């Protein structure tokens, strides 16, 4: 049984300063005021929600991004951004993957996790330049101002919906079905327990610190897998596992330890499963930030999502009995 910590990440406070400007009546200052007013109108425009169709980068910025992309990204994503050993960065599939997020998330993804074999070396400015090049190749129009590199501005910009949304897997004709095989306890012990504890390990271990040497029986799960996946990647995939396990908890026909069917049609069971999905997504986003305190904060949501279900459906011996307590 895992133990839950309640340590919360510290959030940096940023001071805000405001400049007060006044217009003078003298003609010499009138032109200056107009120029300043023009710059303010651009700034105000940049603070409005927009999409990539509104011209959010410049040609010069995309040119810088092209040089960076060729040097750091092309070997995986392809010279034309069409994908190779890594997914494409243009087209409806790419847009479909990212249009529910903001350009802040895309810039952070590049800055924190790319290139996969040497992450964390690109600056925010460089990452924004690469995104500008991605937008240019994707045939989004240029604008008068460069794509900002600060998160506040980038959070206001999204990609438009794809022209041809992909069909969900359930709509594919002739798709095979996969009936339940293991019990609910098998799924819990094989997937949810190790995955959640890998995330909880971040409370006491910084994933950025490389683990060396042979693992021992009393080492953390993170240490035991260190010879296969190291650092933040292990936390990433543990969070993905939590999200992807949700359909298994809702698969009709799965049984609990006592032989009773998993209550997949009960509203509270569905709600608990949805809570697990959201907790997994929160943990994944926090892991992608490569910030230990952010993941520590996310573990509170993971622990709460587990506890909500355990209170109702697990007995005193920590066995899922599929009976409301």
Kindly report the pTM of this predicted structure.
Answer: 0.72
Domains held by the chain: number: 2
What is the reported pLDDT for 18?
Answer: 28
pLDDT tens for each residue of 110-129: 999 999 888 889 999 999 99
Both 119 and 148 in one domain: the answer is yes
Cβ atoms of residues 256 and 250 within 8 Å = no
What is the reported pLDDT for 224?
Answer: 63
What is the reported pLDDT for 301?
Answer: 97
pLDDT tens for each residue of 62-90: 999 999 999 999 999 999 999 999 999 99
* Domain coverage including residue 253: 180-313
Q: Report if residue 224 sits inside a domain.
A: yes
Lowest mean pLDDT segment, chosen from 148-152, 236-240, 255-259: 255-259
Q: How confident is the model at residue 221 (pLDDT cuts 50, 70, 90)?
A: low
Q: How confident is the model at residue 19 (pLDDT cuts 50, 70, 90)?
A: very low
Both 160 and 223 in one domain: the answer is no
What is the reported pLDDT for 51?
Answer: 95
Q: Report if residue 205 sits inside a domain.
A: yes
Residue 230 or residue 154, greater confidence: 154
Q: Report if residue 172 sits inside a domain.
A: no
Both 80 and 193 in one domain: the answer is no
Q: How confident is the model at residue 311 (pLDDT cuts 50, 70, 90)?
A: confident
Lowest mean pLDDT segment, chosen from 157-171, 237-251, 291-305: 157-171
- Respond yes or no on whether the N-terminal peptide bond of residue 273 is cis (omega within 30° of 0): no
Q: How confident is the model at residue 47 (pLDDT cuts 50, 70, 90)?
A: confident
Q: Report if residue 36 sits inside a domain.
A: no
Both 214 and 288 in one domain: the answer is yes
Residue 24 or residue 299, greater confidence: 299
Give the rounded percent of residues in the chain with a pLDDT score beyond 90: 59
Cβ atoms of residues 22 and 310 within 8 Å = no
Cβ atoms of residues 261 and 253 within 8 Å = yes
Average pLDDT over residues 155-161: 95
What is the reported pLDDT for 170?
Answer: 55
Q: Report if residue 214 sits inside a domain.
A: yes
Mean pLDDT of all residues belonging to the chain: 82
pLDDT over 90 (residue 195): yes
User: Which whole-number Å values give the CA distances from 45 to 38, 41, 194, 237, in the listed order?
Assistant: 11, 6, 47, 38
Q: How confident is the model at residue 210 (pLDDT cuts 50, 70, 90)?
A: confident
Both 248 and 193 in one domain: the answer is yes
Burial string for 83-104 (b: 16+ CB within 10 Å, else e) reads beeeebbbbeebbbbbbeebbb
pLDDT tens for each residue of 159-185: 999 887 665 555 556 767 788 999 998
């Amino acid at each position: 049984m895992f133990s839950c910590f309640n340590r919360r990440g510290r959030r940096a406070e940023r001071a805000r300063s405001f400049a007060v400007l006044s217009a003078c009546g003298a003609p010499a200052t009138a032109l200056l005021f107009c120029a300043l007013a023009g710059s303010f109108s651009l700034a105000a425009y940049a603070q409005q929600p927009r999409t990539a169709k509104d011209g959010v980068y410049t040609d010069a910025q995309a040119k810088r991004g092209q040089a960076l992309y060729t040097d750091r990204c092309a070997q995986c994503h392809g010279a034309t951004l069409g994908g190779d050993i890594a997914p494409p960065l243009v087209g409806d599939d790419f847009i479909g993957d990212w249009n529910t997020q903001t350009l802040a998330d895309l810039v952070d993804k590049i800055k924190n996790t790319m290139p996969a074999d040497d992450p964390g070396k690109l600056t925010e400015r460089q990452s924004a330049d690469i995104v500008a090049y991605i937008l240019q190749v994707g045939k989004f129009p240029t604008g008068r101002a460069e794509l900002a590199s600060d998160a506040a501005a980038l959070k206001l910009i999204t990609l438009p919906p794809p022209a041809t949304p992909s069909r969900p897997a359930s709509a594919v004709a002739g798709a095979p079905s996969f009936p339940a095989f293991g019990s609910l306890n098998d799924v819990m012990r094989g997937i949810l327990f190790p995955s959640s504890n890998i995330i909880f390990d971040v409370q006491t271990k910084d994933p950025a610190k490389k683990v060396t040497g042979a693992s021992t029986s009393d080492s953390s799960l993170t240490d035991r897998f260190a010879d296969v996946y190291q650092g933040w990647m292990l936390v990433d995939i543990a969070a993905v596992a939590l999200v992807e396990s949700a359909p298994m908890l809702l698969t009709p026909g799965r049984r609990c330890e006592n032989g009773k069917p998993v209550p997949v049609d009960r509203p509270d069971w569905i709600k608990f499963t949805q809570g697990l999905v959201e907790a997994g997504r929160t943990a994944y986003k926090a892991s992608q930030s490569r910030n230990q305190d952010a993941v520590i904060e996310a573990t509170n949501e993971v622990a709460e999502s587990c506890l909500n279900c355990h209170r109702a459906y697990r007995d005193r011996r920590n066995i899922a009995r599929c009976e409301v307590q």
